[in-house]
A and B are shown apart, each in its own frame.
Chain A
């Protein structure tokens, strides 16, 4: 079983739609959680950290469910520019080591 699992997609949605991705992690001792965004043939960039209480940044909302060991990312009012691959990232022990999921691809169409 992979340590971090994501639905590869693609999720194909119209502009203005709301879309949600989930990511499951296998190690219940995981400490920190992040969503990174990766555009086609580009480097990953941090989108947002995921806090226990959940957090929101504009149109993006991240949630953590420790009991079920998953994190989610909700994107409201999708824009064409949101088209990218979203990487779920988990840190086990407050060290340098980040475990990356293989990503969920989002396509937003006009």
Chain B
């Protein structure tokens, strides 16, 4: 039982490049989330998916797109990376859409040059 897994662990991009961050959970959770964490700031929600086939914008969605591929997988895409997107990205999941415990993946450290 791996919980929440994320790939890659580290990535360096040049401005304007694109990439997709992958996330998968094996806990049969309905809800999945993408957050970013920057120094001195709390985690901020980028996008949220309440269930397979649905996605909603969070606090900081600009510059990102998401896909809930199936119940297990939720990917985050940067179409044209900018230095302001340098951050640590965490994927999380929870059983349902309420304020349940959210289980986080190990994170992806992204640097945009």
The chain A residues found within 8 Å of chain B, CB to CB, are 4, 8, 31-32, 34, 41-46, 87, 91, 94-103
Residue of A nearest to B59 (CB): A97
Interface centre among A41, A98, A101 (most CB of B within 10 A): A98
Kindly count the residue-residue contacts between A and B in the assembled complex, taking CB atoms under 8 Å apart.
50
| B-side contacts of A32, CB under 8 Å | 99
Residue of A nearest to B32 (CB): A96
- Contacting A43 at CB < 8 Å: which of B33, B40, B90, B97? B90
**Nearest Cβ distance between residue B37 and chain A, in whole angstroms?**
8
Establish whether residues A46 and B98, one from each chain, have CB atoms under 8 Å apart when the complex forms: no
Establish whether residues A99 and B99, one from each chain, have CB atoms under 8 Å apart when the complex forms: no
Establish whether residues B33 and A96, one from each chain, have CB atoms under 8 Å apart when the complex forms: yes
| B-side contacts of A44, CB under 8 Å | 43, 90, 104
The chain B residues found within 8 Å of chain A, CB to CB, are 31, 33, 40-45, 48, 50, 58, 90, 94, 97-99, 101-102, 104-107
| A-side contacts of B50, CB under 8 Å | 96
| B-side contacts of A95, CB under 8 Å | 97-99
Establish whether residues B99 and A98, one from each chain, have CB atoms under 8 Å apart when the complex forms: yes
Residue of B nearest to A32 (CB): B99
Question: Assuming A43-B104, A44-B104, A45-B104, is B98 touching A94 (CB within 8 A)?
Answer: yes
**Nearest Cβ distance between residue B29 and chain A, in whole angstroms?**
12
Establish whether residues B99 and A43, one from each chain, have CB atoms under 8 Å apart when the complex forms: no
**Nearest Cβ distance between residue A5 and chain B, in whole angstroms?**
10
| B-side contacts of A100, CB under 8 Å | 42-44
| A-side contacts of B94, CB under 8 Å | 96
Going nearest first, the 6 A-B pairs with the smallest beta carbon separation are: A100-B42, A43-B104, A91-B99, A100-B43, A32-B99, A96-B97
